Amino acid sequence: MRAQPTASHYVNGRYIEDEGGAPLPVIYPATGETIATLHSATPNVLELAIEAARAAQPAWACIKPVERGRILRRAADILRARNADLARIETLDTGKAIQETLVADAPSAADCLEYFAGAVATFNGEMIDLGGPFAYTRREPLGVCVGIGAWNYPIQIAGWKSAPALAMGNAMVFKPSENTPLSALALAEIYSEAGLPDGLFNVVQGYGDVGAGLVGHDVVAKVSVTGSVPTGRKVLSLAGSKMKHATMELGGKSPLIVFDDADLENAIGGAMLGNFYSSGQICSNGTRVFVQAGLHDRFVERLVERTKKIRIGDPLDPETQMGPLVNKAQQDKVVSYIEAGKQDGAQLACGGHVPSLQGFDGGCFIEPTVFTGVTDNMRIAREEIFGPVMSVLKFDGEDEVIERANDTEFGLAAGVFTRDLPRAHRVIAELQAGTCWINAYNLTPVEMPFGGVKQSGIGRENSLAALALYSQLKAVYVETGDVAAPY
């Protein structure tokens, strides 16, 4: 099952290879089979990519926004036309079930390109009346931007970063996660085919050291990272030491609060989506499910019933609902958290094992897992697991649950299920989280800003907020009378 791309890197409109870089094996997580071997970028490749971006960006910034948008729009159409092929690449790279990658990965990138293609022409500065003289502001691009991706949504992340950057007139060098390097190359090809001038979107592969090399490069004006909190801290301090703009999309341990009056099946559906989709590898997952005492037992009973029916197995089978985790290291990490949950006294309500699946012996699977009787100080309730492990916590009152939900260093997302809408808005207003849902969970339409507070990050992706963060304001004062000089 080979998925070898033409070469490791895409720079200045073409594939390039430098076998001097560290080997980067691409492993299909369902079987452990090596499906491609790429190479990490050498300093030479990195320089070529930055130089290509630097050289191409000024002319791109001078093109009318509506014309830049037209190219992004064409790329969105190609993404949609190739959705089936892209979904297959994404499934082979990440292990996520094809029934997910067909609807959630390239389609999300396409939505993003389409949105920014249209939005950028309306995203302008303002005129400020000063009673005679006036001022105006210009939204100018930053220059060369760096995007660094995580492995859970590779093409979506590449789209969410490149679309607002390019729409605004910047160039980008993108480094995918070393675990999932394939689909960003496909996106680069698509941009070229859509007419994006060479050098504006470059892909270089590599581990953290390549990421750090990009972040520290003097030509780079902005960096946007999707990754863990420890990586975000390192990148932000390096970027800060050189006064670069930075957007940090980091991890979470988000609360999902279910009140007694919630629609039971919808709340359970939200909790399952917020814990088991993408085998639980979603930053905004609501992994602390607080259920009010009056509904708790019924909630758990139905949750377990529905969770046991999840079809786990061959990710390329359209009937499969859950594939493996991305790699062995992540599988081991999740297994160790399941052990920690048991040791700390939580009750394993279902799952918790590595399933044995015929034909997938080398696969990194873990059953969807529910712990009940979880208390606030257990490790499974405090640390990001990034796997299909849900913790159910019982609560009595509104003030109590708000305090407990906020008792975390993270602040990426939060959700509330209730039929009492005044309460829903009241509780959401108190929750320390950047992205929230009422009677839903984990929906991320491109029109809505996405990002975290506290340790979960800085800045936002999607929406007009992203255009603001890929641009800088220039303010211009215009005198219409004489200069009043006292000299």
Binding annotation for NAD(+) = 149-151, 175-178, 251, 283, 384
**Strand order from edge to edge, sheet including 389-395:** 347-350, 369-372, 389-395, 288-292, 255-258, 413-417, 435-438
177 touching ligand NAD, by CB under 6 A: yes
Active-site residue flag, 474: no
For ligand NAD, which is the closer residue by CB, 99 or 177? Answer: 177
For ligand NAD, which is the closer residue by CB, 255 or 452? Answer: 452
For ligand NAD, which is the closer residue by CB, 415 or 452? Answer: 452
Of 80, 105, 78, the closest CA to residue 93 belongs to: 105
Q: How many residues bind ligand NAD (CB under 6 A)?
A: 30
Mark residues 452-471: x for contact with ligand NAD by CB under 6 A, - for none. x----x--------------
Q: Which of 235, 256, 380, 414 binds ligand NAD (CB under 6 A)?
A: 235
Query: What kind and span of H or E run contains 192?
Result: helix 182-194
Of 126, 120, 110, 129, the closest CA to residue 183 belongs to: 110
389 touching ligand NAD, by CB under 6 A: no
Residues at the binding site for K(+) are 27, 93, 454, 457
203 touching ligand NAD, by CB under 6 A: no
Nearest distance, CB of residue 181 and ligand NAD, angstroms: 9
Catalytic residue, candidates 114, 189, 367, 461: 461
Nearest distance, CB of residue 226 and ligand NAD, angstroms: 4
Q: Which of 221, 289, 393, 412 binds ligand NAD (CB under 6 A)?
A: 412
Q: Supply the DSSP string of 284-349, one letter for each residue.
A: T---EEEEEHHHHHHHHHHHHHHHHT--BS-TTSTT--B---SSHHHHHHHHHHHHHHHHTT-EEE
For ligand NAD, which is the closer residue by CB, 69 or 434? Answer: 434
Query: What kind and span of H or E run contains 144?
Result: strand 144-148
Strand partners, 141: 471
Catalytic residue, candidates 161, 222, 253, 394: 161
Nearest distance, CB of residue 19 and ligand NAD, angstroms: 20
Question: ∠264-269-273 over CA atoms, to 5°?
Answer: 150
CB atoms within 10 A of CB 410: 26
Letter string b/e over residues 373-394, b meaning 16 or more CB atoms within 10 A of that residue's CB: bbeeebebbebbbbbbbbbbbb
Catalytic residue, candidates 90, 244, 253, 283: 283
Catalytic residue, candidates 249, 364, 367, 394: 249
For ligand NAD, which is the closer residue by CB, 120 or 283? Answer: 283
227 touching ligand NAD, by CB under 6 A: yes
Strand partners, 437: 415
Active-site residue flag, 394: no
Cβ pair 72, 116 in contact under 8 A: yes
Q: Which of 54, 70, 80, 234 binds ligand NAD (CB under 6 A)?
A: 234
Please give the residues from 327 up to 386 whose contact with ligand NAD meets the rule CB under 6 A: 384, 386
Active-site residue flag, 62: no
Active-site residue flag, 112: no
Q: Which of 89, 142, 148, 350 binds ligand NAD (CB under 6 A)?
A: 148
Cβ pair 311, 322 in contact under 8 A: yes
Burial of 33 (0-12, 13-18, 19+ CB in 10 A): middle
For ligand NAD, which is the closer residue by CB, 249 or 367? Answer: 249
Please give the residues from 417 up to 456 whose contact with ligand NAD meets the rule CB under 6 A: 452
Task: State the Cα–Cα distance between residues 440 and 437, nearest whole angstrom.
Answer: 6
Q: Which residue is nearest to ligand NAD (CB)?
A: 211
Nearest distance, CB of residue 450 and ligand NAD, angstroms: 7
Query: What kind and span of H or E run contains 172?
Result: strand 171-175
What are the start-end ranges of the H helices in 35-176? 43-61, 65-81, 83-94, 98-104, 106-119, 154-167
152 touching ligand NAD, by CB under 6 A: yes
Tokens describing residue 216: 């520290």
**Strand order from edge to edge, sheet including 14-16:** 14-16, 9-11, 201-203, 171-175, 144-148, 220-226, 245-249, 457-458
For ligand NAD, which is the closer residue by CB, 303 or 436? Answer: 436
Binding residues for ligand NAD (CB under 6 A): 148-152, 175, 177-178, 207-208, 211-212, 215, 225-228, 231, 234-235, 249-252, 283, 384, 386, 412, 452, 457
Q: Which sequence positions are flagged as catalytic?
A: 161, 249, 283, 461
